[in-house]
Amino acid sequence: MKNCFRLLLAASLLCNSAFAQPFNLKKGIKPTELSLINFTPKDVKKKGRINITKVVQVKDTAYYFVKKLSIYSPIVVSVGVQDPSNPVQVSLHKWNWKEASRPGKPTNEKGYWEEKFSTEGDFGIMVVAPQKPSAYNIYVWVGNEVKMKIATPFKSYSPSSGSGIFTLKNILIGIALLLVIVFSWFIIKKKKKMKNLSILLFAILLTPLSSMAQLDGIFDDPETQEILRNDNAGSVPLNGNDFVVQNPRTRGERMAQEYENASNAAEHLDNFVGAINNVVGIIETGRELWDAGGVLDAGECTPDFTQPANALVPSSCSGTAGCNDCYATALASFNADRQTLARMMCLFMNTKNFTDKAIAFGNAMASLPGGVGLGWIPAKRNIDQAYTNFKATYDRKSRELLTSLQKNMMKIDACENSYGQQDWYQRFGYMYFEFMQLKYKRPD
């Protein structure tokens, strides 16, 4: 299992080195990375990584990005302005800064804005301040990877007596099963493209809570306490040209203003914690991770572990006393390979989508007057080269993962030979392996 994560990490690092933020051709756009630090509250379900950044924005628009994210991790992003009467507009971006994945919305009457989602790779945050300077806090929480529900590919099968001979009937059944699996896969892919990924959590209203009532020790770890104590809170080195500190006023005015600001910040922090609790609660009820807010962008890949009933692989061993223990280790590694393959495919599809959109955007911008196109030719060359390298890496890593999957299937075959069906892999397992090779073959 560790090898699987190492393989995925290598592919992810290559992807992130090539595509580290939403695409743009404007040299004036220099996004600030919101670096995540480890977050270790008492409640282990809320563990993950976090960033809390205090900002005073003096430009019309500020850009931030967060990178190296897993599609299996829930994410909460919120912005709280110091003065609710001076709202800012916040949007989230997956592919480029021109197209918003979550369209811009202003902070509410209490100066607060939030979104919940999952995404693979990176995403950007754009903050527009109609009135400047604008003081606000950015909160980002990325939970640890959620243990996914992976449907079993097996169904119960009782071999008849004398089944040790590979009969013509076995061959015909095997061919028919393989055709059903392949046909089912294409049906699933077609339906998946038509599926509208809606943001379910917008229908859930947050119940008003007393200020700080839900903190429950969630920010009591040393690293977070240091951030909260620091007047320049956050793990991000801010660009002095974009962010300034306002001049202090007289002591009396300053104390009154600080009290009001602290009250607003406490309420925003309470809302942020409430959002984390909401996400964790949804996942704890057994619902899918995607129910906690959906993926960031409707065009983004979502891992799919569903297995149609007519595409299940026969197993005479699964569920049998004694055989379960034999299956346990092999099946855990087998499912880990499936989960990593699904994530790698999403990483590839998102990178392909990013590349296609970046090239389309660059071609459109290059045709405009003003000299923007002068920098497009070398930029496009870099994008093409990075994508070519990434495809080669995907092919290599997917082969390694599929080899690992096949080895784990041979361990399952050994269990079947000992407790159930002889020659299980030759009869049934190989068809599932061929199905997986087809499923995770690079589509271009």
Together in a domain, 180 and 213:
no
Contact 166, 303 (CB under 8 A): no
pLDDT over 70 (residue 326): yes
Together in a domain, 217 and 364:
no
Average pLDDT over residues 337-352: 91
Does residue 26 fall inside a structural domain?
no
pLDDT over 60 (residue 160): no
Residues of the domain holding 272: 31-146+199-292
**Number of domains into which the chain is organized:** 2
From CA 93, how far away is CA 38, in angstroms rounded? 24
Contact 148, 287 (CB under 8 A): no
The pLDDT score that the predictor gives to residue 215 is: 33
Please tell me the number of Cα atoms within 13 Å of 302 on its side-chain side. Answer: 25
The residue with tokens 């660059």 is 362
Together in a domain, 278 and 398:
no
From CA 388, how far away is CA 358, in angstroms rounded? 15
Domain boundary (292, 327, 359) is at 292
Together in a domain, 86 and 208:
yes
Does residue 15 fall inside a structural domain?
no
Together in a domain, 251 and 140:
yes
Average pLDDT over residues 41-46: 87
pLDDT over 60 (residue 302): yes
H-run or E-run covering 113? strand 112-117
Cis before residue 133, ω within 30 degrees of 0? yes
Of 91-95, 253-257, 325-329, the one with minimum mean pLDDT is 253-257
Please tell me the number of Cα atoms within 13 Å of 31 on its side-chain side. Answer: 24
The residue with tokens 């009135």 is 131
Together in a domain, 184 and 203:
no
- pLDDT digit string (tens) for 97-142? 988 999 999 999 999 999 999 999 899 999 999 999 999 999 999 9
Together in a domain, 228 and 207:
yes
CATH of the domain at 67: 2.60.120.380
- pLDDT digit string (tens) for 356-391? 988 888 888 777 776 656 778 888 888 899 899 999
From CA 278, how far away is CA 206, in angstroms rounded? 8
In the sheet with 32-33, reading across from the earlier edge strand, the strands are: 32-33, 61-69, 121-128, 89-93, 102-106
Contact 304, 188 (CB under 8 A): yes
Strand-pair category, 313-315 with 154-156: parallel
Together in a domain, 112 and 158:
no
The pLDDT score that the predictor gives to residue 443 is: 86
Domain boundary (242, 276, 292) is at 292
Together in a domain, 48 and 107:
yes
Domain boundary (292, 325, 342) is at 292
Does residue 222 fall inside a structural domain?
yes
